[in-house]
């Protein structure tokens, strides 16, 4: 490790943590609060310090990475296009949402028809995978119900989802996080609220396909061609990226540029704390530049 990197990040990072960072073979980044901040609909996005630089540095060094957001307002390809316009080095295949991991899981389970509580950003990846998207109206039959960003949600949609579950459909949520980071601060998500209503009315189990589920991490690992234990997961939310990293035995890296701060992980058992905490991805980049990866 170079002395200038140590001076930048401060003393006290265990040598074993730095050595593990040096052995990392791929990265999974959160988007909101980690790489950028936007509004509640992921518009007016602005990269955070070091965000553009770290994606370019990883690309130049042929280190695979993915950006995984729990947002489903847009399709992965639409997010990738938006981020490239901001200057990120990000091919379409490197952008993932809960729809990406849902497709992986649904194909594995042989699901053919899925009722979607969300917009095109959630439905398009399913259609591309050959899965029939069922509209949330009437009394539909489906193999699964998939819940995402859906501010337009109505009681008629809820009733349709209930009938699908009563008919045997399994329920899946993009996220159970209450909030996500925006430039204005915390913004309430929709998946958890809708899931709570569906669960209360039907008694169903709601499975998570986005972060922090092992489904999300496994899908990212397959996408990158890297074992989960050789990945670093970088994020700002104490309830999402760090727990997901521990589930897959990945390196958990916390940043303080979004929802989390230096004290946000203190309620967790020490074994579930981040392996490494940095202020932002600019500091993480300085560490990486001092490593031989």
Least trusted range by pLDDT, from 40-49, 111-120, 145-154: 40-49
Give all domains of the chain, ordered by start, each with its CATH number. 3-97+213-289 (3.40.50.1000), 99-208 (3.40.50.1000)
- Enclosing H/E stretch for 285: helix 281-289
Q: Which strands make up the sheet holding 113-117, listed edge to edge?
A: 132-134, 113-117, 144-147, 170-173, 206-208
The average pLDDT across 37-57 equals 85
Q: Which residue has the higher pLDDT, 10 or 270?
A: 270
Residue 112, pLDDT score: 98
Residue 189, pLDDT score: 84
The average pLDDT across 183-203 equals 89
Across the chain, mean pLDDT equals 91
Residue 228's CB: how many other CB atoms inside 10 A? 21
Q: For the chain, give the number of residues.
A: 293
Residue 269, pLDDT score: 84
The average pLDDT across 153-157 equals 97
| Distance (Å, whole) CA 221 – CA 66 | 9
pLDDT tens digits, 59-104: 999 999 999 999 999 999 999 999 999 999 999 999 999 999 999 9
Global confidence as pTM? 0.89
Say if CB 41 and CB 73 are below 8 A apart: yes
pLDDT tens digits, 10-45: 357 899 999 999 999 999 999 999 999 875 555 678
The average pLDDT across 161-177 equals 97
Residue 283's alpha-carbon distances to 21, 55, 63, 155, in angstroms, are 13, 13, 18, 46
């Amino acid at each position: 490790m170079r002395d200038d990197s140590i001076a930048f990040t401060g003393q006290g990072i265990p040598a074993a943590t730095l050595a593990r960072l040096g052995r990392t073979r791929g990265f999974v980044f959160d988007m909101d609060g980690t790489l950028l901040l936007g509004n509640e609909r992921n518009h007016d996005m602005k990269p955070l310090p070091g965000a553009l630089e770290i994606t370019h540095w990883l690309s130049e060094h042929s280190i695979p990475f993915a950006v995984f957001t729990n947002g489903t307002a847009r399709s992965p390809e639409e997010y990738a296009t938006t981020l490239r316009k901001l200057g990120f080095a990000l091919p379409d295949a490197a952008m993932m949402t809960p729809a990406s991991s849902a497709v992986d899981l649904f194909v594995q389970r042989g699901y053919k028809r899925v009722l979607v509580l969300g917009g095109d950003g959630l439905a398009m990846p399913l259609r591309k995978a050959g899965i029939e998207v069922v509209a949330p109206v009437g009394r539909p039959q489906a193999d699964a119900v998939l819940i995402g960003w859906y501010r337009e949600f109505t009681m008629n949609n809820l009733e349709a989802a209930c009938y699908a579950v009563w008919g045997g459909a399994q329920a899946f949520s993009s996220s159970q996080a209450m909030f996500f980071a925006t430039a204005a601060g915390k913004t309430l998500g929709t998946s958890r609220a809708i899931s709570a209503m569906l669960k209360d009315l039907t008694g169903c189990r709601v499975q998570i396909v986005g972060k922090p589920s092992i489904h999300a991490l496994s899908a990212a690992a397959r996408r990158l061609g890297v074992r989960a234990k050789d990945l670093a997961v970088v994020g700002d939310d104490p309830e999402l990226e760090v727990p997901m990293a521990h589930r897959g035995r990945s390196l958990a890296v916390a940043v303080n540029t979004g929802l989390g701060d230096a004290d946000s992980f203190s309620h967790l058992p020490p074994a579930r704390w981040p392996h490494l905490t940095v202020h932002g991805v600019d500091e993480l980049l300085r560490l990486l530049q001092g490593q031989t990866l």
